[in-house]
A and B are shown apart, each in its own frame.
Chain A
Amino acid sequence: MAKIALGCEPVVGSLTSSKKKEYRVTNRLQEGKRPLYAVAFNFIDSRYFNVFATVGGNRVTVYQCLEGGVIAVLQSYIDEDKDESFYTVSWACNIDGAPLLVAGGINGIIRVIDAGNEKIHKSFVGHGDSINEIRTQPLKPSLVVSASKDESVRLWNVHTGICILIFAGAGGHRNEVLSVDFHPSDIYRIASCGMDNTVKIWSMKEFWTYVEKSFTWTDLPSKFPTKYVQFPVFIASVHSNYVDCNRWLGDFILSKSVDNEIVLWEPKMKEHSPGEGSADVLQKYPVPECDIWFIKFSCDFHYKAAVIGNREGKIFVWDLQSSPPVLIARLSHVQSKSPIRQTAVSFDGSTILSCCEDGTIWRWDAVANS
C-alpha cells in the first residue's frame, strides 16, 4: 500500500474499550456442524425487526429474537443439493411488501425464498461461480445486488426475476468479488470490493430506465435486455490485499482487508474524469486477530456502531459516529473460540449476533448501565 502522505493521516482508534455499553451472552445455539457464513436481521420491514436469518451449508434458517435472550426458530429451508454451501443471505420483499429471503452460495444460484408462504419464490441461474454476498436496496427492497466469484456484480429484481445489470467488463473486477453494498440514499450507487484488492464504485444512473423496465416486464425474464455496466465511476486502492467487506457510511465507505483493521475513507471523485480520483482515509478501527479473509462486519439500522468478530471468536464494537474512533465494547467469552464470519446488530443496537465457523450462533444483549 502506498505510504500515506503528510497531512492525510487517518485518525486511528484506540483499542482501549470505553465501556460505553456492556454486553453479555444471553444465548448460544449450535445450528449444525457446517460453518455459518452469514446472519442478518430484517431491516426492510418494521414488523420483522426482531427476525433474523442465518445461512450455513445447504440450510437457511429464520429465527426470532425474543425477550430474555430467547431465540425462536421460525422457519428452516434446506437445499436439496447437499453440496450447496450458502455464503450469504439478505432480506428483501416484493413490491407488495411480502417478506423474501435471498440467499446464495457456492453453486452460484440465487435462491429467493418467499418467507410469507414458506416456499421457494424463484431461483436465479446466471452467475458463473459462487456468490459471495447479496445485499438489498433499502429504498427499493425488490432490488438486490449480488457479488460473485465470476468477477461480476449483478443487479436483480426479485419481484420479476430479472437480471437487470451486470457490473463487469473492461473496468470490472479482476478477481472474485467478495462484497457489495447499496448506497443508503443515492439509489444509483453501489460499491463493490474483492480479491483484486480494489473497491469500485458503480453508478447505474444511465441505466436506470432498465431498472424501471424490470418492474413492468411481462415477457420471460431471460428475454430482458440485460445490460453490462463496464466502467465504475471510481476505483480505490485503499488496501493491498483482499478486500472482503465494504459498507457505505453515508457518503463514506467502510472497508476491510486482512490487515486487522476497518478503514473509513471518503471517495474523492474527479468531476470530469470518471474512474479517477483518490481515497481520503479518514479513520481506522483496529480489529486484532482479524487477518483471515471472509470476515464481515455489520452495522445497526442507524449506523451508530460497527460490529466485527475476529479469528478467535472475539467481537469488537466500534462507535461509528465519533472522532477519534471509540471502541464501545470488546466482547469475549471463554467458549467463543471459533472464527466469527459475520455479525448482525439489531435495529437499536441492543442485540448482537455472531455466527461462527463451528456452526454456533451467539446472542449478546446490552446490559442496561445503571
Chain B
Amino acid sequence: MPAFMASATVSAHLSDLPNYVQGSGHHNDPPNETQRSGASDDPSHGIHPSDLPDDPPKDAWRSDPDDDPPDNPLAIVLVDAKTPAALEIQAIIDVLKEQVASERTVFVKRRMEENTQKLFDVTKNLFKLSAERNPKINGTDQAVDLLAKRQKDAIDMQNGISTSSGDSDGNSPQEDGYASSAILLGSSIAVKNAVRPIKLPEVKRLPPYTTWIFLDRNQRMTEDQSVVGRRRIYYDQNGGEALICSDSEEDAIEEEDEKKEFTESEDYILRMTVKQFGFSDVILDLLAQCFSRKPDEIKARHEDLVKEGNDMGFTSNVNVDGSISSYLDKNLDAALDSFDNLFCRRCLVFDCRLHGCSQDLIFPAEKPPPSCCPDAEKDPCGANCYRLVLKLESDASIRSPGQGTSEEHLFPPSDASAQMPRRKNLGLSVKMRTKSSQSDGTSSNAKNICESSDSEIRPPIEVADAQPSSSPPKNKLVKRGGTQKRNSKRIAEHMLVSMRKRQKKMLASDSDPLESGTLGFKDLSLQSNSRKENGDESSSSLKLKSPNARRPRRISPALDNCKPLQIETSGCPPNLVMDNQPVIRKDDTSRKNDLLALGLYQHEVNDDKSWKPIEKALYEKGLEIFGRNSCLIARNLMNGLKTCSEVFLYMNSYDNKLISQSGDGANALIDGYYKVDGKETMGNGVRRRSKFLRRRGRVRRLKYTWKSAGYHSIRKRISERKDQPCRQYNPCGCQSPCGKECPCLVNGTCCEKYCGCPKSCKNRFRGCHCAKSQCRSRQCPCFAADRECDPDVCRNCWISLPCSCGDGTLGVPSQRGDNYECRNMKLLLKQQQRVLLGRSDVSGWGAFLKNNVAKHEYLGEYTGELISHREADKRGKIYDRENSSFLFNLNDQFVLDAFRKGDKLKFANHSPDPNCYAKVIMVAGDHRVGIFAKERISAGEELFYDYRYEPDRAPAWAKKPETSDFKKEDGGPSSGRAKKHT
C-alpha cells in the first residue's frame, strides 16, 4: 500500500527533520524575511525546528496515513519520493499561515481602533445635537411638556419617598389627579394598574400584502431573483418554529456556486512557497490541502500570478496610455458592442427588461433604403456645412483664372460643349453672388420648395436661373418643375463646383498642370456628361446637368449607394466619378505611377490620420443609413467629432482613393467594397460584427434557456386543442425564406416581423386585410389567432394619431381615411380602463372599475415577472404556504408572477361566476395577458375572473363542477395557474 509506505517513510525521516528545516532556513532566509517586514522581529514567525514536531497539521500528516486523499495515489507517491522536502514545505507553509493569521489580528485591531476613533467624533456630535434640542422647545413651545412634567414629578416624589422608604422597595400610593401622576415602582408592582392608560384610537388596518412594484409591461426575471437553488426558511407563525426547506438538487447547485477567488494571503503563501521551493506537484498538493482547494485550481492561480508578475514589469507604461484612451480609440465594433448587447431591437429601448440583454442579433434580410428627409437638403446644416465651404472654395478657384484657363486649353475639343457651360456657370455664379441681393425676388418665388431664405443656398439656384440660355419663361418652368429638378440643378452645380475644387487640389498637389491623370479624370466626367446628354446638348446647361445628376440611378443599379433619395440628398461628384469608373480604369494604366495619384494619396493619408477608426466606421454606418448626405451624417453620427464639410471631404477623398487604387490594379478591391456595401444596403446579411467581439465586450450576460421543442404549428393550435399552451416566439435569423430548419418553424411559431427572413417567408404571419372595425371578431385572422393586429403587418389596421407631432403630417396615412382605428390593438396601445384598488367585498384586496364598460371591452393587462415553469414550481411552493399566489401560465416557456411586480389587476379575485375573462394574446411577438369584460360592467364594480385552475391543482375554494370547467376553457388557451387570497 503506497499510502502506508508513505507514512512509514515520513516517520522515518522525521528524526532528521530539524536539520532539513534548519538547512532550508539558511538557504531561503532572504525571501521569507525580507518580503514581509516584521516577520523577523517576531520569533514565532521564524522557523523553529523545535516547534515543528508539535505542529498539528503535520502531526496529522504523520500519524494518519488514511487521511491522505485516497483518490490521489500519484501525489502520495510523489510525496513519498521527496518526503523530507514535503515536510519541509509543510513547515514553511505552516509558518506562513501563522504569519498571515497574526497579521490578520493586527489588521483587525488597527481597523477597530480607527473605527473607534471615528465613532468618538460621531457620538460627540450626536451628543451635542441631543443637548441642543432642549432650548428649542423651551423657547418656542409654551404648552406644558407633559413628559418633562411627569419626569419632574417622579423625581420630586422619589426625593420625598426616598427619605422615608429607601430605594428599591419604594412603592407609591396611587394618587389621583394630575398633581403627581408618575408612579414609582419597586420590584413587584404590576404596571397595569399603576397609571391611567391613554387610549390610542383604533385605526383600520390594511389587508395584508407584500410590497410590489408597478409594471406597465412584463419583465423577465433576472437570475438573482431566482429561488431555485436557494434555501428558504419557513416559520410557523403560531409555533414559532423554523423549517429549512431545500432539496438535494438545490444543495448541489449551491455548492457549485461556491468557487471563491483567491485571497491576498493565499496568494502570498503560494508565492512565497513557490519562491522557496520552486513549483512541483508536492507543493501543489500541500498547498491544496492548506487552502482546502483542488490542486489544479492552485496551479491555475500560480500561472496567473506568474503572468501578473511578468506583466507588472512592463505594463505600467501601457496602463498609463490606456487610461488616456477614450471611446474614440475604440473601433466602432467595440463601441457598438454595448449597443448590440443592451439595445433591444424589438422594443427599441436600451436595457429591455422583457427581452433581456445579449439577445441574438437578427439582421433583417431586407433593409429599408437609406432614410432622408428631402426638405432638409436645402439648408446648410450649420456653420461648417459643406455647402458653405464649397461656396468659398469655388469663389477662390474662380479668382484664380490662370488656372482655369490653362485647364481649358488642355481639354480636347470634343469636351468643349460640356466644358463651356460649366465655365459660364462658374463665371456667372460669381456674378450672381454679387447680385444676390437684387435677385431676392426670384429666390423667394422659389421658396415654396426651397423653404428658408437662407442666402447661402441661394447662389446655386440663382446661378441656374440666371443662365444665359434660360430665359424668363424658362425660369418659371423650372420653378414649376418642382423640387426634383431644382435639386438636381443644385446638385449639378455642386458637382461641378466640387469637381473644380478637386481639380484645384490636384493642381496644388502636383506642380505639373499638364498631368494626364487630371485631364483624363476631368475629361471622363465631362465626357460622360456629354455622352448621356447627347440629345439635350442644345438645351440649356441646366437641363443638361439635371438628368446627368440623376443618371446614376439608371445606369448603375448595382451601385446601391446611389439610391434615388440620395441624389436629392447630396451633391455628388463621386457618383459621377463612379459612373465613369470603367472608363477610368481603362485609362488607368497610364496613371500607374502618377504624381497625381501620389498627391491624392497624400491627401488621403492626411485624412486617414485625422480620422480615427471609430469615425471612419461611423461614417460608413452613416452612409448606410443616410446615404451620401454629409449633413445628416455629420449631424446624427459625428456630432462633435467631425463637421459636415469634413465629412464631405472625406466622402470625396474616399472615393478618390478608391479610384486611384483601381489604377493600381485594385479594381477587385473596389468591386469588393461595393459588393459589401451593396450587400449591406441590400441586407443580404453579412454580419459585419464579429461574434468574437461581441463576446469579449459583453457587459452583462443574462442566461436564458431557449427551450425548443417540436410542437404543432401555431395555426393548428388555434383550430385544434385549446388547452395546449402557446409557444414562446423567438425571432429566427434566417436570411432566406424559412425552410425546415428554421427555428421558428421547428418551434411551431410563426415568423414575425422581428425575424431575419424576408417578408416573403411562408412561415410569416401575414396579418389581416380586414375592412374597418372588423378586427374584433373571429373573421379577422389576427383576432382568431389570439393576436393583436400590427400596423406594421396588417393591411388596414392603424390608428389616426392626434396631430401632436409638429405639423401633424407624421403618422397619418393620408389615403386611409380618418377617425378610424383598429380595435384589436388595445394592448399595444395601452388603451386600458382605469382600475382602482380597494378592499374587496369578498376578501383582502380587490380591483374595481372606475368607469362603465361594455361587453368584451379590454380592461387592462395582467403584468408580472416572466419566470420559467421550473421557477414557478418552486415559487408556487412558497406561495402555497402563504395561500396566495399570483402565478399565471403564459406559454410553454413562461409563467407570469405578479407577486412582487405587477399591476392592480393582480388583485382581482377569483369567482366561478366572473364578470371578466383573461386571454393570452400575441402582441408584437410577445405573449401578454389581457383582461376583458365578460359582460357589461358598471363603474365601481369589483372585478372577478375565473382563475381557471387546472382541475387537479385548484385549491379547495376554487373548485367547481367539472363540466363547467370545460366550458370555460374555450375562451382561449389561458388556463391561468392563478392566484390569490382565500
Contacts and interface: CB of A to CB of B under 8 A. Distances in A.
Interface of A: 2-3, 5-11, 26-32, 43-51, 59-64, 66-81, 93, 96-99, 107-109, 111, 113, 115-120, 123, 125-129, 138-139, 141, 148, 150-152, 166, 168-170, 172, 174-175, 184-185, 195, 197, 228, 230, 240-242, 249-252, 258, 266, 282-283, 292-293, 301-303, 321-324
Interface string B114-135: 0110111011011101110110
A26 B380 CA distance: 90
Contact of B194 (A73, A118, A129): A73
Given A46-B134, A78-B199, A8 B206 contact: no
Contact of A32 (B192, B202, B205, B240): B192
A68 B165 CA distance: 12
12 contacts: A6-B269, A11-B108, A62-B147, A70-B158, A76-B194, A78-B197, A97-B137, A98-B145, A99-B147, A129-B209, A139-B126, A168-B213
Contacts of B154: 64, 66, 72, 74
A66 B184 contact: yes
Nearest to B151: A64
Given A6-B291, A115-B147, A250 B100 contact: no
B136 A96 contact: yes
Given A6-B266, A113-B200, A228-B213, A45 B130 contact: yes
Contacts of B324: none
Interface stretch (B42-50, B256-264, B518-526, B803-811): B256-264
Nearest to A123: B203
Nearest to B878: A175
A195 B263 CA distance: 29
B104 A27 contact: no
Given A72-B182, A96-B137, 5 more contacts: A3-B260, A66-B184, A72-B158, A79-B200, A184-B122
B141 interface: yes
Contacts of B97: 6
Nearest to A266: B111
Given A48-B151, A78-B200, A166-B211, A73 B191 contact: yes
A11 B184 contact: no
Contacts of A75: 146-147, 150, 195, 198
Contacts of A126: 206
B147 A184 contact: no
A46 B269 CA distance: 53
9 tightest A-B CB contacts, nearest first: A7-B265, A68-B167, A72-B154, A152-B211, A128-B209, A74-B150, A323-B109, A250-B115, A97-B133
Contacts of B222: 170
B814 interface: no
Given A72-B154, A302-B119, A59 B197 contact: yes
B199 A283 contact: no
B186 A321 contact: no
A117 B263 contact: no
Given A81-B202, A172-B211, A30 B190 contact: yes
Interface in B58-84: none
A7 B205 contact: no
Contacts of B835: none
B308 to A, nearest CB: 18
B168 interface: yes
Interface residues of B, number: 99
Contacts of A81: 202-203, 205
A76 B168 contact: no
A240 B146 CA distance: 46
Contacts of B262: 5
B295 interface: no
A97 to B, nearest CB: 4
A117 B146 contact: yes
A118 B129 contact: no
Interface string B176-194: 0000011111111111101
Interface of B: 97, 100-101, 103-105, 108-109, 111-113, 115-116, 118-120, 122-123, 125-127, 129-131, 133-134, 136-137, 140-141, 143, 145-148, 150-151, 154-155, 157-158, 162, 166-168, 170, 181-192, 194-206, 208-211, 213, 222, 225, 227, 231-233, 235, 240, 242, 258, 260, 262-266, 268-269, 290-292, 900-901
A251 B115 contact: yes
Given A118-B146, A150-B211, A29 B187 contact: yes
Contact of A5 (B197, B206, B225, B266): B266
B105 A72 contact: no
A73 B198 contact: no
Nearest to B257: A2
B108 A282 contact: yes
Contacts of A63: 185
Given A66-B154, A250-B118, A138 B146 contact: no
Contact of B112 (A32, A151, A240, A282): A282
Given A70-B184, A70-B186, A323-B112, A32 B191 contact: yes
B146 A115 contact: yes
A70 B195 CA distance: 16
A45 B141 CA distance: 15
B126 A27 contact: no
A334 B378 CA distance: 97
Nearest to A128: B209
B136 A97 contact: yes
Contacts of B265: 5-8
Contacts of A240: 231
Contacts of B233: 195, 197, 241-242
Q: Which of B206, B235, B263: most chain A Cβ within 10 A? A: B206
Nearest to A301: B123
A354 to B, nearest CB: 15
Q: Which of A6, A107, A118: most chain B Cβ within 10 A? A: A6
Contact of B137 (A98, A258, A293): A98
A72 B198 contact: no
Contacts of B131: 46
A116 B203 contact: no
A346 to B, nearest CB: 14
A44 B150 contact: no
Contacts of B155: 64, 66
Contacts of A170: 213, 222, 225, 901
A76 B166 CA distance: 25
A266 B170 CA distance: 47
A66 B134 CA distance: 20
Given A74-B147, A117-B143, A151 B158 contact: no
A128 B158 contact: no
Given A96-B137, A117-B143, A118-B198, A72 B184 contact: yes
A71 B242 CA distance: 37
A303 B200 contact: no
A61 B191 contact: yes
Contact of A70 (B170, B204, B292): B170
A47 B211 contact: no
A8 B118 contact: no
A79 B182 contact: no
Contact of B197 (A51, A76, A321): A76
A169 B126 contact: no
Given A28-B187, A150-B211, A169-B213, A96 B147 contact: no
Q: Which of B97, B112, B118, B162: most chain A Cβ within 10 A? A: B112
Contacts of A128: 206, 208-211
Nearest to A170: B213
Contacts of B213: 168-170, 228, 230
A13 to B, nearest CB: 12
A323 B115 CA distance: 12
A332 B186 CA distance: 20
Contacts of B260: 2-3, 5
A184 B119 contact: yes
Contacts of B112: 282-283, 321-323
A28 to B, nearest CB: 5
A93 B136 CA distance: 12
